Amino acid sequence: MPRIKAVNHVAVVVEDMEKSLAFWRDALGMELRGLRDVPAEKSQVAFLPLSGAEVELVMPTSGDSGIAKYLAKRGAGMHHLCLEVDDIDGMLAQLKSKGVRLINEEPRIAVDGKKYAFIHPEAAGGVLVELYQV
């Protein structure tokens, strides 16, 4: 049986990275491990690791990106919840067998080679859930 192991990260969509870092890094004192441009997603991502799960801030770098559209429609705030799974292929098969609507029917491959897939928020009560095999 595939198993959900942990929360990997919580992604927050932000309008202004510097203003956001003034809160998360400077006011809360969280460590900024990295700030990376992700051209494939037309976004910039800040990684703020904690023990266990981390917080990621995602800012669109182009108006036509998916994240820019989300921001325009829903406003800034929590964007998705990423759960670690030990067997993403098995989990996607299990979800399909239970009629759970998926955004990605098959795992996608991240730049670091790891597999991920998104479940449709309609299936998860309005939460955009990412599965990530680490």
Binding site for a copy of itself (CB under 8 A): 1-7, 10, 12, 14-15, 19-20, 23-24, 26-30, 50-55, 75-78, 81, 83, 91, 94-95, 98, 100, 121, 123-127
Residue nearer to a copy of itself on the CB measure, 113 or 125: 125
Rounded to a whole number of angstroms, the minimum distance from the CB of residue 25 to a copy of itself is 10
CA distance 91 to 46: 28
**SS3 of 111, please?**
coil
The dihedral through the CA atoms of 124, 17, 30, 8 has a sign that is: positive
Least Cβ distance, residue 37 to a copy of itself (angstroms): 20
Beta carbon nearer to a copy of itself, 14 or 68: 14
- In 3D, which of 68, 76, 74, 126 has the Cα closest to residue 101? 126
- Nearer to a copy of itself among residue 4 and residue 110 (C-beta): 4
CB atoms within 10 A of CB 55: 17
Smallest gap from Cβ 75 to a copy of itself, in A, equals: 6
Nearest distance from C-beta of residue 126 to a copy of itself, angstroms = 3
5 versus 33: smaller Cβ distance to a copy of itself: 5
Candidates 47, 127, 48; CA nearest to 82 is: 127
The whole-angstrom separation of Cα 24 and Cα 92 is 34
